[in-house]
Chains A and B, each alone.
Chain A
C-alpha cells in the first residue's frame, strides 16, 4: 500500500518511494538522509497538522506537515 507520511499510522514503517516537490525540497530532505529506497518508520504526529516525527537509520527527524505529505512511502506488509 502506498501512502504519504501524514496518512501513515503511528508505528507504521515502509520504504520511501518518492519525494514530490522541487529541487529545494528534495535536496533538503535528502540531505537529512530521507530518499527513495530508505526504510522509514513513523513514530509520532502532532495535533492540528503539526510536525510528523520519523526514524530513519538510527536517528529521529521532525518534518513539518506539508513536507511530510510530499514524502511517499510504500508500506510494509
Chain B
C-alpha cells in the first residue's frame, strides 16, 4: 500500500507533538498541559523511498468531539492512510477507549505506548506483547522525550494493516477495556513522590491560592528582571555604543535632508540619533523590535515555557474557575488569556479549547480589549516607565479592571450559560533545560519572523503618510474624538492608524509627540483597547466568523472611546 498521510491521534497531553517532532524533525511547541496543539501541524518523514506527510492532530478523548480543537482531529481522520494512536502508558485504561474506537474503522492503526519510562517509575507494569495480541495491531513502547522506540514505530508504520473490529457500544467498550486491563496491567504500590504532593497542594483552594499568588508573583519578578537586565546590560549599550555612531556615519554619507536619509535614519537631533524618536528604518525600526520588545519576549516565553512544562497551567485554571464563571467563561479560558499576554495570535487560536460559540466570542473579545501582548507591554513599560512606575501600573490596572467589568457585562448580555470545566490535571514534571530552550527558540524566531517585517513596514508607512500629508488630513477629521474626548493632540491619529499594523510601533509613535504624562497614560490605554493588530484580526475573523467579529469590533471601539474619555475626565495630573 502507498502511504501518503500518517495521522497522530490520541488523548490530550499524551505526547503526540513530541513524537511528531521526533518523526519529522520539525520544530513544534510542546508543553505539559492538555490542549497545547489546537490546530493540526503537517510535517514530512522519510519512510523507505517515500516521504509521506505526518499530521499532528489536537488531542481528543473520543471520536465524539466537544470542542473545536477536537473537531479538527476527528475531521482529519478521513484523510489518513495510517493512524498512529499515541497512548499514555500511565493512563492506559482511559486511553484505550479511543483506541477501540479507532480500531473499528478501516484505517490501519499502530499503537505507540508512550510515556513508557514514566509508567515504569510510577510502578505501572504493562505487558505490551499481550496487549498487542489482544488488540491485533502493533503496540510499540515509546518514550518521545528520549526517542526510545521511535525506530521500531517507524518500522511498523510501513507494514500496518487495517483491523476493523466488530463495533461495540460504549458500555461494552468500557467493560471490554476492564478485562484487557486486568490481563495486561499490574500496579505496584509505591509512595507518593514530592511532586505528587506538591501537585495536590497547588490545586486545593486553601493551599492552592497562596501557591498561585506566589507563582504569579515570582513569574512576574523573573520576567521583569530578565527583561530589564537584557535591555540595560546588552541591547541598549549595544545600540548606543556601536549602532548609533554607525548611523551617524551613514547619515553623513547619505547627506542631511536627503530622501534616503529621512527613510533610513530619520530625524537627527543635535548630531545625535534618538532611537525612540528618529523613526528611520535602521534606527527606530530596529531599536523597537530588538532593544525594546525582544528582551521581554525572551523573558516572558522563558518563564511561560517553564510553567507550561511543569504542568502548572491547568491547576491555575481550576483555581480561577469561579472567577472566570463570573466572566461567562470557565477556568480553562485562562490558557488563551495567558498565551495572549505573549501574543494575541496564539491566544486567539487557543480559544478553540473552549466549547461553544458564546465562550469563544467572550474570550476573544475580552482578550482583544483587555489583554495587551508582550510587545505592547514592553513598549508601555519602556515609554511610560520613564515617567514613573505607578503610571505603568495605572494602565495595566485599568485594563485588568476592564477585563472584569467587560466580562461581567458580556456574561449578562450574551445569551446562554457558560459550560462547566472538565479538565484532566497532568502530573507535574520537572522542566528539562533543552526542551525549554528549544521551545523558547521556536517562539523567538517566530516573533522575529512575524514582527520585524511588520515593524519595518509600519515605520515605512509612517514616513510615507507624513510625506503625503495624509496624517495632517486625518488629524483634522478625527480631532473631535482625539482632542475633544481623549484630550490627545491630533497627531496621535498616526499612532492609531499604525496600531492596526503593529501595536508596539504605534505606542512608539507617541514618543515624539511631547505628551504630558496624563496624555501618555490615555494614549497607551486607548491603543491597547481600540482594535487588535492585523495579524490577530485575521485570526479572529477565521475563528469567530464575520458576524461575531463585527460585534466584537464595535465593542472594542466603543470601549476605547468611553474608557479614554473617562480617564481624561477623571485623571488629575
In the bound complex, what is the Cα–Cα distance between A44 and B199 (angstroms)? Answer: 12
Pick from A31, A56, A59, A65: contact of B62, CB under 8 Å:
A31
In the bound complex, what is the Cα–Cα distance between A65 and B205 (angstroms)? Answer: 14
Q: Which residues in B have their C-beta under 8 angstroms from that of A30?
A: 97, 170, 174
**Known interface pairs A32-B424, A37-B178; A62-B205 also in contact (CB < 8 Å):** no
A27 and B420 contacting across the interface, CB-CB below 8 Å: no
Question: What's the nearest-Cβ distance from chain B to residue A41, in Å?
Answer: 11
Residue of A nearest to B181 (CB): A57
In the bound complex, what is the Cα–Cα distance between A66 and B420 (angstroms)? Answer: 7
Pick from A32, A37, A45: contact of B61, CB under 8 Å:
A32
Question: What's the nearest-Cβ distance from chain B to residue A32, in Å?
Answer: 6
A residues 21-48 in Cβ contact with B at 8 Å: 24, 27-33, 35, 37, 43-48
A50 and B322 contacting across the interface, CB-CB below 8 Å: yes
The interface size bin for chain A is 20 to 34
In the bound complex, what is the Cα–Cα distance between A46 and B320 (angstroms)? Answer: 10
- B422 close to chain A: CB less than 8 A: yes
Residue of B nearest to A65 (CB): B420
Question: What's the nearest-Cβ distance from chain B to residue A22, in Å?
Answer: 13
A44 and B204 contacting across the interface, CB-CB below 8 Å: yes
B318 and A53 contacting across the interface, CB-CB below 8 Å: yes
B170 and A44 contacting across the interface, CB-CB below 8 Å: no
- B458 close to chain A: CB less than 8 A: no
Residues of A contacting B: mostly:
mixed
Q: Which residues in A have their C-beta under 8 angstroms from that of B420?
A: 51, 63-67
Question: What's the nearest-Cβ distance from chain A to residue B428, in Å?
Answer: 11
Q: Which residues in B have their C-beta under 8 angstroms from that of A50?
A: 205, 321-322
Residue of B nearest to A28 (CB): B66
A62 and B322 contacting across the interface, CB-CB below 8 Å: no
Taken residue by residue from 198 to 215, chain B's Cβ proximity to chain A (1 for < 8 Å, 0 otherwise) reads as: 011001110000000000
In the bound complex, what is the Cα–Cα distance between A50 and B420 (angstroms)? Answer: 10
**Known interface pairs A60-B199, A62-B423; A48-B322 also in contact (CB < 8 Å):** yes
Most chain B beta-carbon contacts within 10 A, residue among A24, A58, A62? A62
- A61 close to chain B: CB less than 8 A: yes
Q: Which residues in A have their C-beta under 8 angstroms from that of B203?
A: 43-44, 53, 60, 62
Q: Which residues in B have their C-beta under 8 angstroms from that of A33?
A: 91, 93-94, 97
Question: What's the nearest-Cβ distance from chain A to residue B341, in Å?
Answer: 23
B residues 50-105 in Cβ contact with A at 8 Å: 61-62, 64, 66, 90-91, 93-94, 97-98
Pick from A59, A64, A67: contact of B91, CB under 8 Å:
A59
Residues of B within 8 A of A (CB): 61-62, 64, 66, 90-91, 93-94, 97-98, 122, 124, 170, 174, 178, 199-200, 203-205, 314, 317-319, 321-322, 330-331, 419-425, 427
Other A-B pairs, 19, CB within 8 Å; known A47-B322, A59-B425: A28-B66, A31-B62, A31-B64, A33-B94, A35-B174, A43-B200, A43-B203, A51-B318, A51-B421, A57-B91, A57-B93, A58-B90, A58-B122, A60-B424, A61-B423, A61-B425, A63-B422, A64-B321, A64-B330
The 4 closest A-B pairs by CB, nearest first: A64-B420, A33-B94, A31-B61, A60-B425
